[in-house]
Structure 1
Amino acid sequence: MHEIVPILERKIQLIFPECREHSGQRCEVSCKTCNQPVCVKCIGLDPHKGHDIEELTETHENKIRKIKSDTWEIRANIIPKFRIEDQKIEYTISTTKSKIDDLGKERKQLRRLWHQEVDNIFDKIDSLSQSLGEENLNDLQKYHNKIRNLISEMNKTVKQNEKLFNSKNILEVNEYQSKLNRYQNFPGNMDLKFPFLGSNIDKGKELSIEIGGYTATLKQMSQSSLSTGVSRLTTGIEELMEKVRVIATIPNTFIPLWDVACVGETEVWIHGTQKFILRIDIHGTVWEIVYTTCLDWPNGISVTRERELMYSDDNSGTVNIVRDRKSESLITTPSGWTPANLCCIRSGDILVHVYGKSGPQRKNKIIRYQGKNIKQEINNDGQGNPIFKDGYFLLFISENNNGDVCVSDANALTVVVVDKMGKVRFRYDGTPARREKSFAPRGIVTDALSQIIMTDINNDCLHILDQNGQFLRCVDDCRLESPHGLSVDSEGRLWVGSGDSGNINVITYL
């Protein structure tokens, strides 16, 4: 007589994998030490001899229980949290846009009260407020996208897990890797630094305005003063520039030290003549080592807005990005052109100095990449003349708040600034600084005030210009030695790397 049971109570025939070592044998047990299915013949042989084993059916049941537990946790607890955060960030974006609109209205109202002489001040105010506002919105949008991508990914994981609930394939279930810990690490909240617009109006006497660390004041002088000057416009720049001081010195990082690229407030990527790149903090502690694909050393480094490290590999002709400590090829430069220094700009585009051999000298130009595609080449002026001089020194690049591309051309001993279209706005050769030795620029950055700052390796100093190329002053009292690499952190401090000694000085000047 046969036993008859309901269809739901019948036993499911599991599919046991074949043994890779013993033909014709099925793996019915699992080696717990090696975490793999084995057959009865494998148990007494190396490498499984003496190891703990358990029935594969038990392993299968344990995995099924883990999958169900993870899936329930993701669906019941984690996804609802992310949906709440999605709603919060959507509201924050809306209110942030409203605040930016209010800021613009207030700015226009204040501008009508000022005289024509302050147009250049408000040009700076416009640039700063737009830059700070866009930075907040860009960061918020990226955070919003991250939340939504995680929700989508978790929903996909739930569907995949649900397919495994009743899977008969032991290998498929056994290969399950839990993502629960990863999903439980909730992304941190955004730290918005919204600009404050302050003003003081004393009609007939004084007008002042400030935003994002920039202050400007217009004063009406007495009649006697007007005889020597129609009006006197003072800004907070001169006063702020007197506050230059070294707040930290990191000794002997690389010798020579070629370049530095700040990450946030207290960390920096550095490289010299080694194949690896270091991430260190303001105390000199090494936090990460990235081994590059370069035969010798990187030709240039930069950091994206997402704080991902990028470097150029002259041997492969690629610009690589580092993710999970692994290098991925992002850009391949045109045939005959080698990538060197990099600059990741606010739009997400990447500016790359490339050089190519042509005759006795190397040709130099800058390519703007949007993703993997070439968007613009900066190499000739309106008359077809080369903007950058032929030579073997690398170009250093930075973008200003108004979209200008600022380039340190050591071959020409000049800083060249071009607009968004690649048209030359001005050149600076160091003459106004009246230094003893010839001007030899290397690293270059711009700051929140749209000032252009560059190292001068011959005169052990920094030169500071306004956005129109007007010389402001030199910083030469900060124990700088052959300053080469230059970067600015999220707090507006300068990190200056010495090419010869390998020291890094962190300087506050605003």
Structure 2
Amino acid sequence: MEPSTSAQDGMKCNSCETADAKVRCESCLVNLCAACIGIHMISDESTKHVIVRFQSRNSSLYPGCHLHAYGQCEKYCNQCDIPVCNTCVASDQHIGHDLMEILQVLDDKKKTIIAEQAKLKEIVYPTYQGIASDVQNRMSQLEREHEDISTDITKHGEVWHREIDKLVKKLKAEDDEMKNSQLRILQKHLNEINKTMSDIKQEIDSNDMTINSEDISKVFSTKLNVDRCTKLPIKLVPSLPEFIPGKIDEEEEFRKIFGALSPSSLISEEQGYSMKTTQKSPEVGSCPPAKQLLDVPETVTTLRTQQIYISGVVCLNDEEIWTKGNGSDLRRYSINQGSELKAFRTKSDRMPGGIAVTKKGYLVYTDYDGRSVNIVKNEEIEEVIILQKWKPRNVCSTSTDDLLVIMDSVDFRKSKVVRYSGSTEKQTIQFDDIGKSLFSSGILYRHTITENRNLDICVSDNGAKEVVVVNQKGKLRFRYNGHTPAPKNKPFSPQGITTDSLCHILTADPFNDCVHIIDQDGQLLRFIDCELSIPCGLCIDTNDNLFVAQKSMFDPLVKKIKYLQ
């Protein structure tokens, strides 16, 4: 019997599963009897079906047996996982083994290959394309950031050069002053010596005339002053200053004075990429657009407080908030119950400047006139930061549990942001690249601060009437000065500020009774009004619900607003 015929006799139609298969669809990898060909052709008209007879199929589908020279393997042994010929089947080696038609095994293998091929094409390869793109982006970002570091080093060197030039000029001026002072004294001394020499010369000339004179009376009348002339002047010897150059014995010592680079590294993240998508797994600083802005934001809850002129609100958790008003009291409220849970006064009995909550849930507040930042632990108030020439205006807690404090100088001429780890100062942000102050200053100006999810630092500056955003290194990214027209077409004077999980920046606009939502690059997305009255303090809970404190004497409310879906 021909191999093709014997194979055909053992194959059934994959469609009806009863009749013997006469043909095969190479496109769909199915065997068909004569009656099922038409049904199969119209079952999926989107596919170009290629129908071939079994006899036309390449006889090489039956591999040669590696044990028997003239044998063709028409069966497949599952236990041994090898093709076998009829001679192999007749031997004792495969007694009791599960033998399958090799063409059926071939079909299954091809289907597996097709599935794996689809996975490679649709998932694996695009994933690697995304990873390659991500690595290229990181390389480009690395180049840019190292250029920034190099620029910072150069600028720092230029500052040192300027300071050294100033110091050299100052030392030379001091040396000139010493020299001129000594020259003036020596000149005066020389003038006195020259005067004495002139007197002596005059005395000599007078005596010569007397000696040569015939007038005896003139000789007797001459008074000699030799003793006066023999008293010599004092000797002035200048004492020269000595330039003592500062010595730096080791290069490492000089690097400590000038500045040094912290170590760099490449961190391997085992779970850094996912095969399910071509996107990188979320990291700190990423803002995936998982939610959409509601067309019409809605007020979920309204909480009436016991404070007036509420200017600050911060979430302790998704169920409780802290608020501050125009007095020295700080109050904690249950959102769902609408009841007050706790109240206490500041340590100095003064109105707090700003409030925040740390990662561990401790309340932090600033004492502007007391020049301190305080933390409340177990109902005990501790001063963690004490300032001398600065007054802390506002504070926020960062993703790393640092504190960012925006402060004014005591003369109200300067403002800056300082990052603290505990009570240790880590970073100061005050000027832009051209030395101009980033923030306005003045006794009547107010600043509020927050950190975005991408680690930008956002400051609402009502003195400058803008939102100032700098990156983690303190370099200016953009300024947002409102949007025209605003709901009430009044000047933009931002107060409270907060950010959400999408890196949106939200800032209160009390003159226009609304909240501005801008994206992380400073573009206005939407206004929230919700019948607000003088919105001032803002905060966001973990579900991206917005809390708005109204600085109103008649409506001392905190509103919980849903603006994302």
TM-score range, shorter chain: 0.5 to 0.7
Is the alpha carbon distance of 1:280 and 1:377 closer, same or farther for their aligned partners in structure 2, counting shifts above 3 Å? same
Instruction: Tell me the distance in 1 between the aligned counterparts of 2:547 and 2:469.
Output: 22
Q: Which is strand-richer, 1 or 2?
A: 1
Residue by residue over 1:231-270, the C-alpha shift from the partner in whole angstroms, topping out at 9 and shown as x without a partner, is xxxxx53xx3325211000124411111011111011001
Instruction: Tell me the distance in 2 between the aligned counterparts of 1:198 and 1:287.
Output: 48
Instruction: Tell me the distance in 1 between the aligned counterparts of 2:275 and 2:306.
Output: 42
Q: Does 1:405 align with 2:493?
A: no
Instruction: Tell me the distance in 2 between the aligned counterparts of 1:298 and 1:108.
Output: 57
Name which of 423, 436, 445 aligns with 1:393: 445
Residue by residue over 1:190-244, the C-alpha shift from the partner in whole angstroms, topping out at 9 and shown as x without a partner, is xxxx9x999789xxxxx9x99999557xxxxxxxxxxxxxxxxxxx53xx33252
Query: Pairwise mapping of residues 403-482 of structure 1 onto structure 2 (< 5 A)?
Result: 403-431=455-483, 434-435=486-487, 436-476=489-529, 478-482=530-534
Q: Does 1:322 align with 2:376?
A: yes
SS at 1:455 equivalent? strand
Q: Does 1:493 align with 2:545?
A: yes
Instruction: Tell me the distance in 2 between the aligned counterparts of 1:245 and 1:112.
Output: 42
Report the equivalent of 1:146. Answer: none
- For the Cα contact (< 8 Å) 1:294–1:314, is it kept in 2? no
Instruction: Tell me the distance in 2 between the aligned counterparts of 1:110 and 1:493.
Output: 34
Is the alpha carbon distance of 1:385 and 1:287 closer, same or farther for their aligned partners in structure 2, counting shifts above 3 Å? same
Is the alpha carbon distance of 1:484 and 1:292 closer, same or farther for their aligned partners in structure 2, counting shifts above 3 Å? same
> Residue 414 of structure 1 aligns to which amino acid in structure 2?
E
Report deviation, 1:324.
1.1
Residue by residue over 1:310-345, the C-alpha shift from the partner in whole angstroms, topping out at 9 and shown as x without a partner, is 111223321111111110111112x12111211010
Instruction: Tell me the distance in 2 between the aligned counterparts of 1:270 and 1:369.
Output: 23
| Residue segments in structure 2 that go unaligned for 5+ positions in a row | 1-122, 138-270
- For the Cα contact (< 8 Å) 1:294–1:315, is it kept in 2? no
Is the alpha carbon distance of 1:111 and 1:463 closer, same or farther for their aligned partners in structure 2, counting shifts above 3 Å? farther
So what's the TM-score if we normalise by structure 2? Answer: 0.49
Is the alpha carbon distance of 1:383 and 1:210 closer, same or farther for their aligned partners in structure 2, counting shifts above 3 Å? closer
- For the Cα contact (< 8 Å) 1:443–1:485, is it kept in 2? yes
Is the alpha carbon distance of 1:316 and 1:434 closer, same or farther for their aligned partners in structure 2, counting shifts above 3 Å? closer
- For the Cα contact (< 8 Å) 1:243–1:508, is it kept in 2? no
Instruction: Tell me the distance in 1 between the aligned counterparts of 2:515 and 2:350.
Output: 29
Taking only aligned residues, the RMSD between alpha carbons, in angstroms, comes to 3.4
Report the equivalent of 1:378. Answer: 429
Instruction: Tell me the distance in 1 between the aligned counterparts of 2:287 and 2:396.
Output: 24
- For the Cα contact (< 8 Å) 1:398–1:407, is it kept in 2? yes
SS at 2:410 equivalent? strand
Is the alpha carbon distance of 1:384 and 1:274 closer, same or farther for their aligned partners in structure 2, counting shifts above 3 Å? same
So what's the TM-score if we normalise by structure 1? Answer: 0.54
Report deviation, 1:402.
1.5
Instruction: Tell me the distance in 2 between the aligned counterparts of 1:382 and 1:210.
Output: 32
Instruction: Tell me the distance in 2 between the aligned counterparts of 1:273 and 1:111.
Output: 57
- For the Cα contact (< 8 Å) 1:433–1:473, is it kept in 2? no
Instruction: Tell me the distance in 1 between the aligned counterparts of 2:475 and 2:519.
Output: 18
Q: How many pairs were matched up?
A: 301
SS at 1:431 equivalent? coil
- Percent identical pairs in the alignment equals 34
SS at 1:343 equivalent? strand
- For the Cα contact (< 8 Å) 2:408–2:441, is it kept in 1? no
Query: Pairwise mapping of residues 151-170 of structure 1 onto structure 2 (< 5 A)?
Result: none
> Residue 395 of structure 2 aligns to which amino acid in structure 1?
L
Instruction: Tell me the distance in 2 between the aligned counterparts of 1:480 and 1:321.
Output: 31
| Residue segments in structure 1 that go unaligned for 5+ positions in a row | 1-105, 121-193, 202-206, 217-235
Is the alpha carbon distance of 1:390 and 1:354 closer, same or farther for their aligned partners in structure 2, counting shifts above 3 Å? same
Instruction: Tell me the distance in 2 between the aligned counterparts of 1:372 and 1:458.
Output: 37
Report the equivalent of 1:303. Answer: 357
- For the Cα contact (< 8 Å) 2:460–2:495, is it kept in 1? yes
SS at 1:458 equivalent? helix
Query: Pairwise mapping of residues 15-414 of structure 1 onto structure 2 (< 5 A)?
Result: 110=127, 112=129, 214-215=288-289, 237=292, 240-242=293-295, 244-282=297-335, 283-333=337-387, 335-358=388-411, 361-391=412-442, 392-414=444-466
Report deviation, 1:423.
0.9
- Structure with larger Rg: 2
SS at 2:414 equivalent? strand
SS at 1:112 equivalent? helix
Is the alpha carbon distance of 1:412 and 1:286 closer, same or farther for their aligned partners in structure 2, counting shifts above 3 Å? same
Report deviation, 1:367.
1.0
Residue by residue over 1:26-60, the C-alpha shift from the partner in whole angstroms, topping out at 9 and shown as x without a partner, is xxxxxxxxxxxxxxxxxxxxxxxxxxxxxxxxxxx
- For the Cα contact (< 8 Å) 1:260–1:486, is it kept in 2? yes
- For the Cα contact (< 8 Å) 2:375–2:384, is it kept in 1? yes
Instruction: Tell me the distance in 1 between the aligned counterparts of 2:405 and 2:396.
Output: 7
- For the Cα contact (< 8 Å) 2:483–2:524, is it kept in 1? no
> Residue 272 of structure 1 aligns to which amino acid in structure 2?
G
